[in-house]
Structure 1
Amino acid sequence: MDHTFLTVRPATVADLASLVELRAHLLDGTAASYSSKTPEHSARWRAAYRTWLSSRLNESDCVQIFAAEHRESGQVLGCATAIIDQRAPAPGCLNGLSGWVQSVVVAPQWRNRGIARQLMQHLLRWFANRGVGSVVLQSTEAAGTLYQALGFAVSDERLLIRQETFA
């Protein structure tokens, strides 16, 4: 697939609005349990995410956000977030460094062109360069094939979530 139209680079504060709008494709108005259900919930997560992004972009050793940018227009077409957690060592992760992939999203009109794959390849290199041997992600069914092609396997562990509601 021709990817000459695309550059994957670390996201910057200048990308903030684009990153929020891309993440909205995952968090606003979907049937997912984590989706915002009201305009008020949407406004709250967007404000919190802007604050989180502002404090992490270019300033965190354990968070990296990549943006896929159209070479000609400069439009941000997709993004992906990598987070490194320090956990207790385990047989598959002796140094305790565990990676978490979050918010891999491509604008709907740009999907199925290999953009998510390129973003993931950059994330996986970033993790590997930091000694992170175990990487986890939560996926939609539609994206499962991509992640499996990149070496991820479905876990036999159950993902349980307890979510507090704060006003």
Structure 2
Amino acid sequence: MNQPFLIVRPAMVADLNRLVELRAYLLDGTEAMYSSKTPEDSMRWRAAYRTWLSSHLNTSNCVHVLAAEHKETGEVLGCATAIIDQRAPAPGCLNGLSGWVQSVVVEPQWRNRGIARQLMQNLLRWFASCSVGSVVLQSTEAADKLYQTLGFATSDERLLIRQEASA
């Protein structure tokens, strides 16, 4: 359901600071393996993400970053990122185009109002328009129900991560 107070649009360079702050809800101060552990870690990922966004916003056919903007205030309330990877063909993805959803985040006081759903529906339409056959995401427990209603299923594959300390 589209929210009457909301516009979902491609993110712009002017949104950079807000996108970084929204992503911090996922990457700073959580128990997740990928979360920053020190203030220095936080500063490093923020700088690297800002650089990445600057080089990919509206310039890459394989990256689509959305902002959910309040129609009246212009405040960015949420965001979501879609990335297309070219992989080897597989039975469920014959063209090898695989989608990855990252950083679906909504400002805490605006959660449970359909904003993440609207962002995801827009990302899924974009993936479909790009002939992406398979879409993967990593979820939080709180978001599992949303993703399941959008057709995502828990995989029986194990996700193993090797993370370089200095990378």
Q: Smaller-chain TM-score range? A: over 0.9
TM-score by length of 2: 0.98
Q: How high is the sequence identity, in percent, across the aligned residues?
A: 81
Q: Which residue number in structure 1 is paired with residue 19 of structure 2?
A: 19
Question: 1:57 Cα deviation (Å)?
Answer: 0.3
Q: Does 1:32 align with 2:36?
A: no
Q: Which residue number in structure 2 is paired with residue 123 of structure 1?
A: 123
TM-score by length of 1: 0.98
Q: Which residue number in structure 2 is paired with residue 152 of structure 1?
A: 152
Change (3 A) 1:2 1:52: closer
- How far apart, in 1, do the equivalents of 2:141 and 2:86 lie? 28
Q: Give the letter aligned to residue 47 of structure 2.
A: A
- How far apart, in 2, do the equivalents of 1:98 and 1:8 lie? 23
Q: Give the letter aligned to residue 20 of structure 2.
A: V
Higher mean displacement: 106-115 or 2-11: 2-11
| Paired residues for 1:2-151 under 5 Å | 3-151=3-151
CA contact (8 A) 2:8 2:67 kept: yes
- How far apart, in 2, do the equivalents of 1:6 and 1:150 lie? 20
Q: Give the letter aligned to residue 157 of structure 2.
A: E
RMSD, aligned CA? 1.0
- How far apart, in 2, do the equivalents of 1:64 and 1:156 lie? 28
Question: Match of 2:147, SS?
Answer: helix
CA deviations on 1:12-71 (whole Å, 9 max, x unpaired) are 101000000000000000111111011100000000000000000010000000000000
Question: Match of 1:45, SS?
Answer: helix
Question: 1:93 Cα deviation (Å)?
Answer: 0.2
What is the aligned length?
167
Question: Match of 1:95, SS?
Answer: coil
Question: 1:2 Cα deviation (Å)?
Answer: 6.7
Q: Segments of 4+ in structure 1 off by > 6 A?
A: none
- How far apart, in 1, do the equivalents of 2:132 and 2:58 lie? 19
| Unmatched tracts of structure 2, length 5 or more | none
| Unmatched tracts of structure 1, length 5 or more | none
